[in-house]
Amino acid sequence: MPALNDKDACELLDADHIAVKHLFVDYARLAFAAASPPAPALLGKKAAAPAADRAAIAMKICDELTVHAQIEEEIFYPALQQALPDAADLLQEAQAEHQEAKEMIARLRDMGAPDAAMDSLVAELNRAIEHHVKEERDELFPKARASGLDLVPLGLQLRERQQELEAETAPAT
Amino acid sequence: MPTASTLSEENGSDKTGSVAPEGVNSTIDSLDRVRVDSSGQRLTTNQGVPVADNQNSLKYGVRGPALLEDFILREKITHFDHERIPERIVHARGSGAHGFFEAYEPLTQYTKAAPFKEAGKITPVFVRFSTVAGERGSKDTARDVRGFAVKFYTDEGNWDLVGNNMPVFFIQDAMKFPDLVHAVKPEPHNAMPQAGSAHDTFWDFVSLMPESTHMLMWVMSDRAIPRSFATMQGFGVHTFRLVNEAGDSVFVKFHWSPKYGTHSLVWDEAVKISGADPDFHRRDLWERIESGAFPEYELGVQIFTEDQAEQFSFDILDSTKIIPEELIPVQPVGRMVLNRNPDNFFAETEQVAFCTAHVVPGIDFSNDPLLAGRIHSYVDTQISRLGGPNFHEIPINSPIAPVHNNQRDGMHRQAIHRGRVSYEPNSLAGGCPFQAGAAQGFVSVSASIQAKEEQGKVRAKPEKFADHYTQARLFFESQSPVEQDHIANAFRFELSKLTVPAIRERTVAMLRNASEALARKVAMGLGMEPLPEALPLALPNPAQPEVTKSPALSLLARPGDGSLTGRKVAILVAPGVEGEAVATAQAALLEQGVVARLVGPRIGRMPTASGDVIDADASMENEPGFLFDALILPDGQEAVAALAQDGHTMEFIKDQFRHCKTILALGASRQLLVKAGLPVSMDKSQAQGGTGLILAEAGDAGAAIAAFIEAMAMHRHFGREMDPPLL
């Protein structure tokens, strides 16, 4: 796989999609292992994953999605708005979905230790994001690619802003 | 002896033997009594006549006509002409194995059934796994329920636990069974499709039978495409009873849990496997047993009383309902190990006859109306399939417990019963065989039937049977998001195949009652807009369920022991391959119980980079990538160049990637991933460490292989699964 800076705008945003899907999958694995019935006697004791791991993944999901939504709203959507007047509906829907996701993220950030409520909310966020991602991948990206918009410099711009925002949200060490 | 047959029975011969030992039925001896081994033996006819010439029929002159008197030819051809028996109407495609059941602790508090009498007690078993819809020669990896039938050869007779790998069923009453099966089987006019439910008649039927909604969730889930018979659960489906020495009974549901975890294929993989290896599950079972990686399952029971059952929000006689584990926990009571392959497929796996009617003292039935029909149906169908009422004498079916009764005659009778007596009571045979009585014999539980009006003869169902959606919702809501995606995609796939749009719409209308999110997603995948009105509810106000989520229903809750036993890894090789890393990988994988195969552009010997020789035992053309659980791409510039120019390599990688399997690229082979088209957008996920792609620098094979093994234990890396697929 070529290095990070080779990606155009769609590829960069899709990298976020795939990366956050991975986090959702990891979260679900831990959540279901924690909630599963006792291991059959012949299997011995299963090693329980620390609950802290789940909370950390949930917070990482929140951070990643927050940055992702922000760079889309600041850079990607405005660029498309200009290049694709007929995509207004799609973009409006995308923004509404961002809003919905942001509300869920805010609720998640307020939660303490991971429990069944957090598991449900993460799953709900997962489904919402998946729907949003599918629309972007199936509808918006093909439009963007066909629009004649130069996606390479746009990708660079997205990346710079993303790095800036990531530096801001990075936990102090 | 009181049972003596004849005054002349003492006149023995090689054929007659002599006087029968008293009170013995020799037909129950072990299968050794019928095993045939022909080493060092001459060829004979069925009558034992040595055959001089097995090449030429008897003719009148070398160019003359064949002669009718050629009894050797005629016997051979006649037998051949009659080799086939009717295949099972359902569960025709199956694979069997011998093994044993071992009880952990006595379960005598609840049951007097022989297998559970004491800790460590061993009971021989024969197990047959099967698909349901496909014919005898159909593919193993169809989307379907799997039969999970266990015959316990107990000290007190045969007990058949004739289960499935799903705990519920499509229908509630045996009255609908022929309809269901006719609907799912190949359509009658053109006999298509084989081993598939994605056709009009099946969906027509189930969409008119909303009680099937819960089962449809299971069948559309990954449960319907297991990775291996060794990695699927089993269930007794119905509620049964356990009965103890005192005659007290409790209700019970049976669960088998695989030691190696509950793991499934993905649909694209299952479809491809069915082309390259239709015997995928049969081969896997056979190879696991032959290599000593014995499939193993734990038997668990959910035990509850009649009073508890009364309180449940659902009816325990309804085969479309589970009892959530949160409500009644599953207690482990023993384990089953499958450690011996059959000697002969026909004699054992084909002729084995499972019957739900086969229970032993300590096990009894509930009033589940589907079970009632099955108690009749299995025996009935064996009579036709196996040619008469004596199928219990076919060696694989005969119990190891003594068999003595007055059933007589019939086609293919094996036993030679002595004496004049074939009735009871009798005095001429000293009253034998005598009835065992309540203390030893099977006694049906005297379930009380209250003298209420509704207990009169009716053709009707209890009210709770009409709640068709609560548990369908429970199942869907209890799945992880990835599993939910797979369910939605399976509905999309099946419904996309239909030719009648109204059936698609009716199915989505039904799904809206179970999950609005699922219905919306399926409709979106079908381009169906707007959503059809939800089907009217048969029971407008069903009882509040005890639980609305049961994580135990997710495959993720059942990773098993996490071992890789029985898994298969492909190590790609070509001339000039870096041989040492290949040897290191092979050794490390063998230690984990993993089968590592060297797959090359062709089979056979080839030189390594260091001048040694390795032997590829499979070719990419023969054993494509989707047949393996994981992939190692080798180092060595020349080998990588050879693999890079072979289109099979790219397909190999593409399938491994798409099916979310662990891929290790050693050194130079990283460029093969690029050539295969892995998207650049994988990099961020890769940096988070979650994609199951391991890129190792040259010379670091040991650590890389350790990381590979660890990643393999995750089974699949669904973090890279997008819909439609990335690659």
pLDDT in tens, A56-91: 999 999 999 999 999 999 999 999 999 998 889 999
Q: Given pLDDT bands bounded at 50, 70 and 90, which one contains residue B20?
A: confident
Output B106-112 pairs: Cβ under 8 A, ≥24 positions apart.
B107/B242, B107/B301, B107/B333, B108/B244, B108/B245, B109/B244, B110/B242, B110/B244, B110/B250, B110/B252, B110/B303, B111/B242, B111/B243, B111/B244, B111/B362, B111/B363, B112/B243, B112/B244, B112/B245, B112/B361, B112/B362
pLDDT in tens, B308-366: 999 999 999 999 999 999 999 999 999 999 999 999 999 999 999 999 999 999 999 99
B329 contact residues in A (CB cutoff 8 A): 37
Q: Is the pLDDT of residue B3 over 70?
A: no
B683 contact residues in A (CB cutoff 8 A): 1, 3-4, 7, 15
pLDDT in tens, B209-258: 999 999 999 999 999 999 999 999 999 999 999 999 999 999 999 999 99
Q: How far is B117 from chain A (nearest CA, A)?
A: 19
Q: How far is A17 from chain B (nearest CA, A)?
A: 9
In a domain, B487, yes or no: no
Residue B235 contacts residue B165 (beta carbons within 8 Å):
yes
In a domain, B323, yes or no: yes
CB spacing of A40 vs B259 below 8 angstroms:
yes
For residues B181-207, average pLDDT: 98
B369: tokens are 């109306």
Domain boundary among B343, B366, B397: B397
Of B5-19, B49-63, B118-132, least confident by mean pLDDT is B5-19
A6 contact residues in B (CB cutoff 8 A): 680
Q: Is the pLDDT of residue B152 over 80?
A: yes
Domain count, chain B: 2
CB spacing of B683 vs A17 below 8 angstroms:
no
If contacts are CB pairs under 8 Å, which of residues 43-102 in chain A contact chain B?
A: 43-44, 46
Q: How far is A124 from chain B (nearest CA, A)?
A: 9
How far apart, in whole angstroms, are the C-alpha atoms of residue B215 and residue B471? 9
In a domain, B162, yes or no: yes
Q: How far is A11 from chain B (nearest CA, A)?
A: 5
Output B649-652 pairs: Cβ under 8 A, ≥24 positions apart.
B649/B572, B649/B620, B649/B675, B649/B676, B650/B675, B650/B676, B650/B677, B651/B620, B651/B624, B651/B625, B652/B570, B652/B572, B652/B599, B652/B620, B652/B624, B652/B625
For residues B446-451, average pLDDT: 63
For residues B444-456, average pLDDT: 69
B719 contact residues in A (CB cutoff 8 A): 18, 21-26
pLDDT in tens, B73-90: 999 999 999 999 999 999
Residue B711 contacts residue B692 (beta carbons within 8 Å):
yes
The pLDDT value recorded for residue A42 is: 46
Q: Given pLDDT bands bounded at 50, 70 and 90, which one contains residue A45?
A: very low
The pLDDT value recorded for residue B453 is: 59
Catalytic residue among B25, B164, B165, B489: B164
CB spacing of B681 vs A12 below 8 angstroms:
yes
The pLDDT value recorded for residue B452 is: 62
A15 contact residues in B (CB cutoff 8 A): 680-685
The pLDDT value recorded for residue A46 is: 45
A18 touches chain B (CB under 8 A): yes
Q: Which residue of chain A is at minimal alpha-carbon distance from B260? A: A43
Q: Is the pLDDT of residue B604 over 80?
A: yes
pLDDT in tens, A7-41: 999 999 999 999 999 999 999 999 998 877 655 54
Percent of chain B with pLDDT over 70: 98
For residues B604-626, average pLDDT: 97
| The model's pTM | 0.96
Q: Is the pLDDT of residue B514 over 80?
A: yes
If contacts are CB pairs under 8 Å, which of residues 81-140 in chain B contact chain A?
A: 104
Q: How far is A118 from chain B (nearest CA, A)?
A: 14
pLDDT in tens, B616-669: 999 999 999 999 999 999 999 999 999 999 999 999 999 999 999 999 999 999
Average pLDDT, chain B: 96
User: Cβ neighbours of residue B13 under 8 Å, at least 6 residues apart?
Assistant: none
Q: Given pLDDT bands bounded at 50, 70 and 90, which one contains residue A172?
A: low
> Which CATH number characterizes residue B702's domain?
3.40.50.880
The pLDDT value recorded for residue B368 is: 97
Nearest to A57 by CA among A104, A130, A108, A133: A108
CB spacing of B683 vs A25 below 8 angstroms:
no
CB spacing of A40 vs B332 below 8 angstroms:
yes
- What number of C-beta contacts closer than 8 Å exist between A and B? 136
CB spacing of B673 vs A1 below 8 angstroms:
yes
A43 contact residues in B (CB cutoff 8 A): 259, 298, 560-561
A109 touches chain B (CB under 8 A): no
For residues B499-523, average pLDDT: 98
B332 contact residues in A (CB cutoff 8 A): 40-42
The pLDDT value recorded for residue A48 is: 54
Percent of chain B with pLDDT over 90: 93
Q: Given pLDDT bands bounded at 50, 70 and 90, which one contains residue B118?
A: very high
B674 contact residues in A (CB cutoff 8 A): 1-2
A41 contact residues in B (CB cutoff 8 A): 104, 298, 332
Q: Is the pLDDT of residue B167 over 70?
A: yes
Domain boundary among B345, B371, B397: B397
The pLDDT value recorded for residue A171 is: 62
Nearest to B168 by CA among B471, B602, B499: B471
Output B712-715 pairs: Cβ under 8 A, ≥24 positions apart.
B712/B564, B712/B567, B712/B569, B712/B594, B712/B629, B712/B630, B712/B662, B713/B562, B713/B563, B713/B564, B714/A29, B714/B662, B715/B261, B715/B263, B715/B559
B520 touches chain A (CB under 8 A): no
- The minimal CB distance from A21 to the residues B680, B683, B719 is found for B719
Average pLDDT, chain A: 88
B257 contact residues in A (CB cutoff 8 A): 40
B330 contact residues in A (CB cutoff 8 A): 37
> Which CATH number characterizes residue B137's domain?
2.40.180.10
The pLDDT value recorded for residue B691 is: 83
Catalytic residue among B91, B98, B238, B486: B91
CB spacing of B683 vs A3 below 8 angstroms:
yes
CA atoms within 13 A on the CB side of A158: 31
Residue numbers of the domain that contains B677: 568-720
How far apart, in whole angstroms, are the C-alpha atoms of residue B402 and residue B29? 9
Q: Is the pLDDT of residue A148 over 80?
A: yes
CB spacing of B719 vs A18 below 8 angstroms:
yes
pLDDT in tens, B364-403: 999 999 999 999 999 999 999 999 999 999 999 999 999 9
In a domain, B601, yes or no: yes
- The minimal CB distance from B481 to the residues A28, A41, A116 is found for A28
CB spacing of B557 vs A3 below 8 angstroms:
no
Q: How far is A138 from chain B (nearest CA, A)?
A: 9
Q: Which residue of chain B is at minimal alpha-carbon distance from A35? A: B551
Sign for the CA dihedral angle at A91, A96, A99, A103 comes to: negative
B637 touches chain A (CB under 8 A): no
Q: Is the pLDDT of residue A44 over 50?
A: no
If contacts are CB pairs under 8 Å, which of residues 426-485 in chain B contact chain A?
A: 480-482, 484-485
What is the set of domains in chain A, with CATH numbers? 4-169 (1.20.120.520)
- The minimal CB distance from B683 to the residues A1, A29, A134 is found for A1
Q: Which residues in B657-670 are b (16+ Cβ under 10 Å) and which e? A: bbbbbbbbbbbbbb
Residue B667 contacts residue B635 (beta carbons within 8 Å):
yes
SS3 content of chain A, % helix, strand, coil (to 5): 80, 0, 20
A11 touches chain B (CB under 8 A): yes
CB spacing of B552 vs A36 below 8 angstroms:
yes
* Known active-site residue B91: yes
A31 contact residues in B (CB cutoff 8 A): 480, 551
Q: Given pLDDT bands bounded at 50, 70 and 90, which one contains residue B1?
A: low
Furthest-apart CA atoms within chain B: distance in Å: 92
The pLDDT value recorded for residue B178 is: 98
- The minimal CB distance from B551 to the residues A22, A24, A32 is found for A32
How far apart, in whole angstroms, are the C-alpha atoms of residue B515 and residue B472? 8
Q: Is the pLDDT of residue B454 over 90?
A: no
CA atoms within 13 A on the CB side of B494: 32
Domain boundary among B343, B367, B397: B397
Cα B638 to chain centroid, rounded:
44
The pLDDT value recorded for residue B307 is: 95
Of A40-54, B153-167, B403-417, B608-622, least confident by mean pLDDT is A40-54
A-interface mutation test, from B253, B327, B480, B549, most A Cβ less than 10 A away? B480
Q: How far is B224 from chain A (nearest CA, A)?
A: 20
pLDDT in tens, B468-495: 999 999 999 999 999 999 999 999 999 9
B335 touches chain A (CB under 8 A): yes
Q: Which residue of chain B is at minimal alpha-carbon distance from A27? A: B480
- The minimal CB distance from A32 to the residues B325, B557, B724 is found for B557
The pLDDT value recorded for residue A5 is: 55
Q: Which residue of chain A is at minimal alpha-carbon distance from B726? A: A18
Nearest to B556 by CA among A130, A93, A127, A49: A49
